[in-house]
Amino acid sequence: MSQSPELLRRLLRAKDRMDAAPHEPWPISRLAQVSAVSEAHFARQFGQAFGVPPHRYLLTRRIERAIALLRDTDLPVTEVAYRTGWNSLGTFGRIFRDITGESPGELRARERPAPHGRDEAPECLVRAAHRPDLKTAVSEKRRREADGKTGIQPTEAP
C-alpha cells in the first residue's frame, strides 16, 4: 500500500526536524506530534517511507556528525559526544564502535593524517558515501559477532 503525499509530507517534516537538530532528544511521541499522527502510525509509516525506523535514522545522523567533528576539529571526544546528543561517553563510545567498527579515537587517528580532497565533491555526496549502514540493529551485529567468536557460523536465509 503506497503512502499518501500528505502523509509523506508530514513524515518528511519530522525527518527534517531530526536532521536540523540531531543532538536533541527525539522520542516517538515528539516526532508523532510534529507529524500530527499517532505514535504507532508514525513509527510504522516512517520505517516504510525511509527504510529504517526513526531511532536508527537518528543514530545515523548523530554518528555522521560525530565522524565529521572527529575528522575536522580538535574537540575532545567527550565534547564530540555531548555535541552530537549523547549524555554518556561510554554509551557514545560503545555505539560508535558497534556502528563504525572502531573507537572515536581510532577513527580520528586514521582520518586525520591523510588529506581527503573533499573540495571537489558536494558535501551531500561525501556524507552519503560515509553514512554508516544501520540496516542491521546493533544488537543483531553483536549477536553475529558473538556467534563468530564461538565458532558458530551464522546462516543466511535463502
**Residue 120 included in any domain:** yes
Is 117 in the same domain as 68? yes
Is 46 in the same domain as 63? no
Is 94 in the same domain as 36? no
Total domains present in the chain: 2
pLDDT value of residue 115: 55
pLDDT (tens place) for every residue of the chain, 158 residues total: 578 999 999 999 999 999 999 999 999 999 999 999 999 999 999 999 999 999 999 999 999 999 999 999 999 999 999 999 999 999 999 999 999 999 999 999 988 755 555 567 777 777 777 777 667 677 777 787 888 764 445 555 54
**What is the pTM (predicted TM-score) of this model?**
0.68
Is 66 in the same domain as 114? yes
Mapped onto helix, strand or coil, the DSSP state of residue 148 is helix
**Residue 158 included in any domain:** no
**Residue 157 included in any domain:** no
CATH of the domain at 12: 1.10.10
CATH of the domain at 116: 1.10.10.60
CB atoms within 10 A of CB 89: 16
**Residue 143 included in any domain:** yes
Is 90 in the same domain as 111? yes
Residue 138's alpha-carbon distances to 31, 81, 134, in angstroms, are: 22, 18, 8
Is 1 in the same domain as 73? no
Residues in CB range of 142: below 8 A, 6 or more apart: 98
Q: Which residue carries 559526544 as its cell? A: 81
Q: Which domain holds residue 40?
A: 1-51
- Residue 96 CA to residue 58 CA, distance in Å, equals 13
Is 81 in the same domain as 124? yes
Is 61 in the same domain as 21? no
Is 81 in the same domain as 140? yes
